[in-house]
Structure 1
């Protein structure tokens, strides 16, 4: 029973709220956020700008406005009672130009840095060098092979201004020989060799090879010329026309011509390995 009563009350309450909403006031009055009689605040940018009333700019000083003053400006409140008055013509504000800031001054050097600069030693004075320098030309060699030549050129490379190589033909002595002059035929040479043996002279050889000594009788080859002369005199004493001559051969040799400073010529001579030598030569 109680539940039915509560249910009826709820239905009646809903009907009453619906009737109030339908039959009540259809419009609501907006509540002013400010007190009555106080005019509304407006920004300067909201005011109408009259181009005809703009003030001419007469000086460049009037065009620049300090940033601090411009940033701190705020719209002032209108006086009470002036809400119904027509706003006066707005004054044109000159364009704001950014203030020119001077370049930052570099910080002063620390006292320790100034002292270090003051105590730093002065750079040494440049000693003038003489542009004139004497040079000497030397011929280094002879070298039997090109390998020896290249080795010497590498060793002397840091001491020379320039260098060149050249080849020459040289005559080398390979001892002394004693012989009997060549005969017209081989039989005559053999007959002469038999006569030597009959005189007790041994160690001979009949040359049969082609050349200027063909059909001659060789009596020996000696490195010491004194021994060669002794053998020749012995054969002459036996009645044969023995002769003595130096045995030579023509072989190629290589020379290295270098140009060195005059004060470095002694170092070049010390760096040369025997049997090569260094001798003055014409410059190139």
Structure 2
């Protein structure tokens, strides 16, 4: 009995649900949101072309304005023949490998290329001219060499210690009496350490001292010159020697420069010593 009642209830419920489903209203789609101003609507068309937009664009395009033409000009244009198309150039026949090898330039010999290379410049050559007894003689030799020597300079080679002697002399007088008169003037000037040489090539000359170094002799010369005399320096023994060092200019040869300067000897010199 209970089972029948449940079946009847379920049948009634199913019937009610079916009637509700058949009699209900169709659901309404929500309205699309408003489109912003100035933004075109996107549409998808198969084939990638919007036919409606293309048709609208073609309809909105302005038609070309009609231009009235001169009938004679139109006839002349129509009667002008069109230019003929240029003829296609015929393909050139392929050249044989032998012809290409013949037309290629012949390479220049290696010997000719080497001959065109510039010759390397010769290294500088430097020499020393001398020896000279004093600086004055070396200066005269330097002036005689002239343009044959560049970067020329005077160099003193010191003497061995204890072997050099330097004498300060006044020029030899014509007679003994003149030498004695010179001595009186020396004494009146307040100078001492003097004597008259009586013989030799310096006879009647007045010696004013002998020194072991050049510095002492030069100080004595300065004092005698201040008194109004003109002495000279004479080196004896193994005294210092003066040389003229320089670089040969252009194509000058050492023997040529030696002869021009009047030097007794010439010897090779490292150019680095001139710097």
**What is the TM-score with the length of structure 1 in the denominator?**
0.26
**What is the TM-score with the length of structure 2 in the denominator?**
0.27
